[in-house]
Every structure is written in C-alpha cells, then in structure tokens.
Structure 1
Amino acid sequence: MVAYYSSALDGVAANPALPTPLLLRLISFEGGDDRRPFESLHRAMIRPGLPESAIAAVRAHPIAHVRSAFATSGQAEPEQRALLVDDPSPKVRAAVAIGPEWTLDHRTKVRPLPDAACERLLADPELSVRKSVLHSDNVAPSFLASLAGHPDPAARRAALRVWDELTADEHAALLADPDPEVRRRAEVCACPQDAKLTTALFADPASLREALRRGRLDRAEAEQLLTKGVHLADLAANPSLPPDLVDRLAVDPDHDVRLAVSLRPELTEARRAAIDVTVEAWARVDVDWVGAGTADQDVLRRAVTSAHPLLRRAAARSPHLSPDLLRLLAEDTDFEVHRLLAVCHPDTPVEVLMGVYAKLGGTFSAWMATGHPNFPREGLAHYADHPDPIYRHLVVRDPAATPDLIERLSHDPDTWTRQSAARDPRLPLPRLIEALTEPELAYCAGANPALPPDEMAGVMDRAGVPSGKGEGEGLGTTGAPAQSP
C-alpha cells in the first residue's frame, strides 16, 4: 500500500456521502498483515445515521475492536449500541456499558442506555462488565435509583450517586447497610443535614475533606477545626460555617483559603470584593452552589452580576442562561467568560464567537466556536486575501465563495487553509482528484462529499481493502460469522 493513500482512506471512511455498498466493503475488512484499513473503520463508526445493514455488519464483524468502536460511538443511538449487550466479547460488552462521552458536536451529552440494557449488563458473568456499567456516565438516574436494594454492595454504592432521588426508607437502609463502604459513602451523602454524622466522618481520612466541605457543623466543632488548621480551604467552603469564623478565614495567610471564602454564596458583593485574592486569566474552579443551580435563574443572576470573575465563569458554563444574563456575559471584559460561552451556550452571540476564534484560532475552543450554530457564514469570502491564515480558513464557510476561489485556496501557503478547501464540495473535480495524492490534503479530499463513488472505490483499491463482501453480499446482510472474544 502506498503510504499517502492511508490518509485518503481515513477521509473516505469519514465521508458523509460514502455509499452504503462501499461502507459495507470497508466494514467487511478483517485485518491481516496490514492494519491501516482496519484503523480507518473507526472513522466510519462515528458518522450519524448508519444504515441498518451497516449496523448489522458491525455486529457480525469477527474483530471485537470493530464492534467496540461502534459501542462507544457518540453518533449511534443508545438503542443501537444496546444491541451489543450480549456480544461474545466481554471487552465489547464493557464498551457498551461505558459508552461515549460526547456526541460529535461536543455540546450534546449522549442519551443513556435503556434501563433494560443496563440491567442485562449488571447481570453479566464478567466482573469487568459489571464494574463498567456501575461506573458509567451513560446510565439513567432511574437505573441507579433502582439499585438501592440490590444484593451487590457495589451496586448499592452506585445508587448513592443519585442520593437525592432516593426515598427516606432507602436512605435509612443505606445508612445501616451491612457493607462498611456503602455505609461510609451514605454518611457522606447525609452529612450536610446531620452534625453527628459529620463529626463521625472526621475520624475517617477517606471522608475528612468532603465532610469538612459539606457536612453540618456545630459551633464548637467548627472552632476546633479552625484551631487545628487542617484543610482550611475545604472548611472555608462549608455552608454551615458560622459567620464570624468565615470572617477569620477571609484574612487567612493562605491564598487558597481566602479564595474559597470569596466564593461563598451568602457574601455581599462589598464583602466579597474586600477579600484579598488574585484570579489568573485562565483559572476555573468548581463553585458548588453555582453548579448545583445551573438551571436556576436566581442563582445564575447572582453569579453573573458578581464582580468575582470565577463566579461569572462558573455561570458561563451553564447552557440555561436567560437572554438578559447571556447579554451581560457577552459584554463581560473577562475573556475566559467569552470562551466558556462559546463552548457551552447554544445562543452565544456572533461577536463573542468571532472574538474567541480570532484569539484562539487552531485550538479546541476555536473549533467549538466555528461549530456553533450562530457562527457567521455570509460575507466571509472577503477574507480570501487576509494576511492572517486564521481568517482565510473561514472563506469556505461562505456560501457565496466560488469554485475558482476554493481552488485558489487549495494552493494557499497555509496548510490549514488548503485542507479546508480540499474538503469543500465546490472544489473543481480535477483539483479534488489531484488533492487525493497530496499527503497534506489526502484526508480532506477523501472526506469531500463531492468525491465520486468510483474515486472512493479507487482509494479503497489502492489501500488494499478487499472488494466483494461489503458490496451487496455476505457480511452484514445475513447470518453472523464467528466473532473474536
């Protein structure tokens, strides 16, 4: 296989216009000495809307790694991924349980697996599979809540992740659980409302810091803890800390302690501003009360209107900001606020998106900005002769850009600009076919939806992907060949 065609094959595998017969041909690849076409199959697995014949072919594929790739695809529906819960390979079943972290646009969380599929995985004979489903972020709260009375203590520990959704009787049972680790974690969940539990947890090094941060404190206990001076930054965040002790920690010599005090929800803005803290340009911290109120407009308003940049940054991570709060943050002078808006909010204004892109072009945040539905398209062709390639790269987004202009940009001195042009369906066909042979452009040319199917097939031929099986017969259409565990 000629080396530079490997990149073209990756592009063809990701091409949204790849015909189903060629997709099936790619899926049918079974490896051998040359693994490159097999690796390209991962590109095909992350496309949305795989046809049923392709899903059937993946399920029947003899290589477990191929099936695992589909099991963790953010573009597959959870009901489709759940079809692999009885796969012969425990690695594949564990991949189903773990699932993907994000969808392709990185803004939308994937929907959880159906509860019935999770129950099947929890009953799996392999411990690794059972552990995977209990630690997965791709399970519904309803499934976790159903585990409160499960005979396996590991499952009962998982139920504690949704403590607030459990009943009072379930709380009591978990606090009296025969398993000491279940009891300890249940006590951590209950300690914000129980001073005695909090005191007991202070004797456990594994629970100490969380109890300091969240547990209910009586005054005598709080004074003793402050005198001991251990983990004062955690203590400074505790909601039940008496006000005069908060004042003492506000002037503590440790900056992290003062910073924790400065983020407390009950402080007035004047009191907050009087605390001597320094916030770095890129700093972010998890602010518990803002994170818990991510959809509460009153909580968000307090954070958005604060002079404390970390509170405004915490609010900017919420996708639920009301229009007036979004406007306030869009006018914020703190660039990190704008960056977070560009990544997190579905209605971020154009000027914020363009500002983030202009400052961070080439980074993940800039990519998220250009993928935002509000990122502009019209009028970008006037950047074709801009001295900064970050702007020339945007020209392909303009629907008014002509084929001649796209071809010119495919010869641009900037690699990123050339690649964006190579992927544009307006690129004249002769230049598109030529780009398939250029190492830096081969992937983008292969992914170009205007690439004719016969050229896609030619890329597969040159890459050594066998023809026949995936093109209307055999694998993926009937039966299931032997599969590797």
Structure 2
Amino acid sequence: MAHSGDQTAQVAFGVLEATDVARADAVRLLGADSSLHAQWIMGLAMNSAAPEEVLCRVFTVDPLPEFRYWLPYCPLSPAAAAAAVAHPDPRVRAVLAENPHLPPAARAVLAEDPDPKVRRVAVMMACEYEVELPAELTVRLATGPEPRLRYWATGLIGLPERTRLALAEDPDPRVRSAALDSWSWPRLRPEVRDAAEADPDSWVRAAVRRATHVHPPLPTTVGGFLAETDERRRRDAASTARVEEALAVLLVAHDDPSLRRAAALNPHVPTVLALGMAADPEPSVRLAVSLRPDVTEAQRAAIDYTVPPGRLPVPSWVEERFGDPDAVREIAASSHVVLRRGVTGAPALPADVIERLAADDDYYVRLMLCENDHAPHELLVETFADWDGLSWGRLARHRNFARPGLARFADSPNYRLRYAALFDPEAGPDLVERLSRDAMDMVRHRAAADPRLPLPRLVELLGGEETSQRAVGNPALPAQLMHHLLDVAGVKR
C-alpha cells in the first residue's frame, strides 16, 4: 500500500518544504514505520478541520483500520459523516450507525442502506437516540417490506399519526404489538381494537393489556392497606399516598423497617408522628426523618442520623424549590450535608450560594457543585487536580474551566495541572511545544492535538508511535500535508 522510498521522499519533501518545515523533520517523518499509516488514517478521520476531499479519501480505505474501536464513539463532522456512509464495507457502515454523534442526514442515508443489517442498526439507533428523521423517510420505513424496520418505525420521532395507527393492523404480530400503547389505543377504530383483543398472538394480547391497564389508586386507609397484596404498592402507599391518620399511626409503628422508612419520607404523615421515629433503631429510618421538609434545623440536629457513603437521591422537596432563591439559600445553609449536596443541582444558583457551597466543609458538596454549569473556575481546577473519580477528566470540558492564567501550572509537579495549563487561551506556542515533551502521556497527547503547536514539532510527532494519531488530528495540520500523508500511506487520490 506504500510508495517506494524514492517516491515517498520526493512527495514528502515537496510538501514539507512548501510548509517551511525543516529538512530534518522531513527525514524523521519519512522514517516513520508503515505501521503508523493506520494511525494517520484514524487521526484524519477525526480531524475537525480536514477538508471534504481528505475525508473522502480516508473513507475509501478498505479495510478501515480498527474502525470498531473508534468509529462508534468519535464525533464526526457532517462532511466526514457524509464520506463515511459511502464506505464500501457494510460492517463499517453498521458500526457507524451506532455512533450517537452521527448527524441526522447521515443516519437517514444509512436507514436506506443497501445492506439490511445496516438499515436495521440505523433505524434502531434512531429510536434509541431519539433522532428525528425526515417524515417521508419514516413513512417509507413504516410501510416497507421489512417487518423489523416496520417494528422499529413505530418508535420513530416524526412518524405521522395516520401511519403509526395503521401499523396496529400490520400483517406481522410483532409490529402490531409495538403499535399498541396507551396513546394509540383510544385513537384506533373500534373494529381494530376488537381485532386486537381477539388476536391469536400472545404478544399482541399482552400489548392490549398494557395499553388498557388502569392503575387503581393507592390505599389510604388501614383496611385498604391490609387488603393490598402487592408489596410494591404497599411501599408506594406508605411513602407517597395521602394516608389517613390511622394508617399513618400503623405505618410509623410497623414491624417492617422499610415501611417505617417509607412513612418517614411521606410528607402526608403528620410531623409529630414522623418525629416519633427520630430515635428509631433502624439508621435508614432516622436518616429519612432528618430529611423531611417539615423538620426544623434544631430538630434535624437532634437526630442521630448517619449519612452512608455514596451518592443519595436528592429529596423531591429540595428539587421543587430550585426556582426559589430564598429557599435555595436556606437549604444551602442547612446543617444537613445531604440537603446541601442536593441543592448544588439547582440550575440557577445565586452568586452568594455558589460562594458558600464552593467553600463547604464537605468534599462531596464541592464535588457535586462542579457538575453545575455555574461552578466557579477555582473550584473546578482544585477538584480537577485531586479528585480520583473515574470521570475527573470531564471537569476540563466545563465551560468555566478554561481561563487565562492556567499556564502558570506548566511546571507543576501535579501532571493534571500541567495538563490544565494547555487550556489557557493565552498560552503560547513555546509552552505547548514544551509540554509536548512532558513525561506524562496525557499531557503530551493533549499538546500534540493543540493547534498552537509549532508545525516543525507537529510534523515530528507524526512519526511518533504514541503521538501520531493525536498529531494528525491536530486542526492546524495543513491540508496539503494531510493529502501527502495519505499519499505516503498509499491511499489513492
């Protein structure tokens, strides 16, 4: 697939000289092992600045290198996706259809792919990712000859109502069952409903039962509760139903601690009865009492509760008050760490509340605040530097993370802070080049993809085993050089 040595040298020297790259760098690039050609191809496929002509060449490569490991996940530009959907290997197109970042126009093309597996994956993923396809395409899929496509078409956004209702009369029972739900059932003609209820297929009859099922109200009296045999409904009643006082008395003294805990969470259980469980022998019951909205701060502090490790659900009453600045301030000042953690998710935190939570003594309050769009820059950097959670790298993508001044960390002993230095919008080419030689892989890789990296160093990294893919994905790579890398790799123009 490669050129001869003389041809390769002639091509590469020409483009490198045209881009003012030193001759020594050209020699290093030409000496790159042919095993790097696959890295170049993958990097170009993901290069956001690659011209359409380059991408069209990349996606003619067959076999496409290691496509199963990067194609389902990497964001593709519209031009890249348009080139990819024309790849000759249907396995590549099927894997491409799994990509959640695929532009809708490209997914629409795959939904009518010549290969049946590609079509199925594309339509199934359109349902999974809630991608809206053109209405005329959804009709073609819903009325076409393939039962599997008609089955998945029942869940497509944008499918016209008339077409969706017609699928309840489809010849295939799986399609009929998928078309029957609580939305379609009352809209179907009476004769269609009659036929569905008498359908010989068990899937269809099960769908009818689900579509017509009406949940009876939860029990609110002692008699109704004792007569209820479904344990899930008993717990739901204990935790959410507007229970009568007699039933509340029964629940707070029940032998089953899960029912006492449910009662402690139920806002309809009178406060005085709930506080009677403040000394309950079961820790989860005491914690539930401490999280009630009708308990004062003094009463909370008097309860011997323990907060278990891990993330706990945010109490619903806390979420209901996210839009009330005064209520948010009150919750943020609570002595209860679970409430303070919960309020960090409010979408519009006042500035003084952000300041208070960012200085909270509890590490997880500060950590959870970092998930908020308004988390302060200093807290994000501090957490980025020392948090050991699996998703710590996501903090660098937070809108408040990048700030002028991060370059001061370029010589930090903490490799994460050296990595953070590359997010400084005012960092210069010299700093980026220096960090491209860092001892840590992730720092070097980030620098290799940085468009501020000087071109001679960028070309040098194209020949490195561990940096070649990142370097060729650098948006500052000249288009002429992209083409010549493909020439060196033997990809036809």
TM value normalised by structure 1:
0.71
- The farther-off stretch of 323-332 and 416-425 is 323-332
1:467 aligns with 2:482: no
Name the CA shift for 1:70/1:90 in 2 (closer, same or farther; >3 Å).
Answer: closer
- Tell me the equivalent position of 1:251: 279
Q: Determine if contact 2:461/2:467 at 8 Å carries over to the other structure.
A: yes
d(CA) in 2 for partners of 1:83, 1:201: 56
Once the two structures are superposed, residues 24-64 of structure 1 have per-residue CA deviations (whole angstroms, 9 ceiling, x without a partner) of: 23334454xx65256544465x13x514x843762787626
Preserved CA contact (<8 Å) 1:59 1:67 = no
1:321 counterpart = 2:346: no
- The amino acid of 1:217's aligned partner reads V
- Residue correspondence of structure 1 range 27-106 to structure 2 within 5 A: 27-29=59-61, 31=63, 35-37=65-67, 39-42=69-72, 46-47=75-76, 49-51=77-79, 54-55=81-82, 58=85, 63=90, 66=93, 69-70=96-97, 72-74=99-101, 76=103, 81=107, 88=116, 89-99=119-129
Matched, 1:204 2:230: yes
Shift of 1:114: 7.3
Aligned pair 1:265/2:293, yes or no?
yes
SS in 2 for 1:278: coil
Letter in 2 for 1:99: Y
Distance 1:180 1:460 in 2: 59
Distance in 1 between the 2:183 and 2:278 partners? 37
Quick check: 1:339 aligned with 2:371? no
What CA distance in whole angstroms lies between the structure 1 residues aligned with 2:453 and 2:271? Answer: 67
Give the alignment of 1:260-409 within 5 angstroms.
260-280=288-308, 282-297=310-325, 300-343=328-371, 345-360=372-387, 363-365=390-392, 367-409=393-435
Between the two structures, name the one with larger relative contact order (CA 8 Å, sep ≥ 6): 1
Deviation at 1:115, TM superposition (A): 10
Distance 1:357 1:18 in 2: 31
The change in CA–CA distance for 1:328 and 1:70 in structure 2 (over 3 A counts) is: farther
Distance change (3 Å), C-alpha of 1:41 and 1:378: same
Deviation of 1:458 (Å) = 4.9
Task: Indicate the percent of aligned positions where both proteins have the same amino acid.
Answer: 31
Matches of 1:214 and 1:118 in 2, distance apart?
Answer: 44
* Aligned pairs for 1:153-232 within 5 A: 181=210, 186-187=215-216, 191=218, 199=225, 202-225=228-251, 226-229=253-256, 231-232=258-259
Deviations 1:358-387 (A, max 9, x none): 22278523x332222222432222322222
**What's the offset of the Cα at 1:97?**
0.5
Distance apart, 1:355 and its partner CA: 1.8
Distance 1:115 1:420, change over 3 A: closer
SS state of the match for residue 318, structure 1?
coil
1:399–1:325 distance in 2 versus 1, CA, 3 Å? closer
Tell me the CA shift for residue 229 of structure 1.
1.3
Report deviation, 1:93: 0.8
RMSD: 4.2
Instruction: Specify whether residues 399 and 462 from structure 1 end up closer, same or farther in structure 2 by C-alpha distance, changes over 3 A only.
Output: same
Q: 1:416 to 1:82 in 2, by over 3 A?
A: same
Taking a change above 3 Å as real, the CA distance of residues 307 and 431 of structure 1, as seen in their structure-2 partners, is same
Contact 2:48–2:475 (CA under 8 A) maintained in structure 1 = yes
1:331-360 Cα deviation digits (max 9, x unpaired): 3222222222222x2222222212211222
Query: Residues of 2 paired with 1:123 and 1:302: CA distance?
Result: 57
Q: Which moved more, 1:326-335 or 1:82-91?
A: 82-91
Deviation at 1:449, TM superposition (A): 1.0
Q: CA 1:56/1:251 → structure 2, altered by over 3 Å: closer, same or farther?
A: same
8 Å contact from structure 1 (residues 70, 76) kept in 2:
no
Distance of 1:211 and 1:128 partners within structure 2: 41
Once residues 366 and 89 of structure 2 are traced to their aligned partners in structure 1, the CA distance between those partners, rounded to angstroms, is 47
* 3-state secondary structure, aligned to 2:304: coil
Instruction: Say if 1:93 and 1:251 are closer, same or farther in 2 by CA, change over 3 A.
Output: same
Alpha-carbon distance change, 67 to 22 in structure 1, aligned in 2, over 3 angstroms: farther
Alignment partner, residue 439 of structure 1: 465
Deviations 1:375-422 (A, max 9, x none): 243222232222222222222223443323322221121222212221
Given that 2:409 and 2:421 are in contact with CA atoms closer than 8 Å, whether structure 1 keeps it comes out as yes
Distance 1:297 1:346, change over 3 A: same
Look up the match of 2:55: 23
Q: Is the 8 A contact 2:180 2:208 kept in 1?
A: no
Distance of aligned partners of 1:360 and 1:236 in 2 relative to their CA distance in 1, 3 Å threshold: same
> How far apart in 1 are the matches of 2:484 and 2:224?
68
Q: Identify unmatched segments of 5+ residues in structure 2.
A: 2-33, 170-175, 185-205
How far apart, CA to CA, are the structure 1 residues paired with 2:237 and 2:147? 35
Question: Are the structure 2 counterparts of residues 350 and 334 from structure 1 closer, same or farther at C-alpha, using a change threshold of 3 Å?
Answer: same
Within 1, Cα distance between the matches of 2:330 and 2:54? 55
The equivalent of 2:269 in structure 1 is: 241
> AA paired with 1:24?
C
Q: Distance in 2 between matches of 1:41 and 1:22?
A: 17
| Residue identity in the other structure for 1:381 | A
How many residue pairs match? The answer is 421
Q: 1:455 to 1:59 in 2, by over 3 A?
A: closer
Query: 1:258–1:276: 8 Å Cα contact kept in structure 2?
Result: yes
Query: Alpha carbons of 1:22 and 1:348: their partners in 2 closer, same or farther (altered >3 Å)?
Result: same
Partner SS state of residue 364, structure 2? helix
8 Å Cα contact 1:13-1:43 kept in structure 2: no
CA contact (8 A) 1:198 1:217 kept: no
Alignment-derived partner of residue 11 in structure 1: 43
Q: For the residues of structure 2 that align with 1:118 and 1:307, how far apart are their CA atoms?
A: 56
Return the index of the structure with the highest Cα Rg. 2
CA 1:320–1:65 in 2, change beyond 3 Å: closer, same or farther? Answer: farther
Segment drifting more, 251-260 vs 21-30? 21-30
* 2:477 matches 1:451: yes
Query: Per-residue CA shift, 1:172-204, capped at 9, x if unaligned?
Result: xxxxx99555566744xx649x76998499422
**In structure 1, how many angstroms separate the alpha carbons of the residues matched to 2:227 and 2:68?**
52
Distance between the aligned counterparts of 1:439 and 1:304, measured in 2? 50
When the two structures are superposed, what TM-score results if normalisation uses the length of structure 2? 0.70
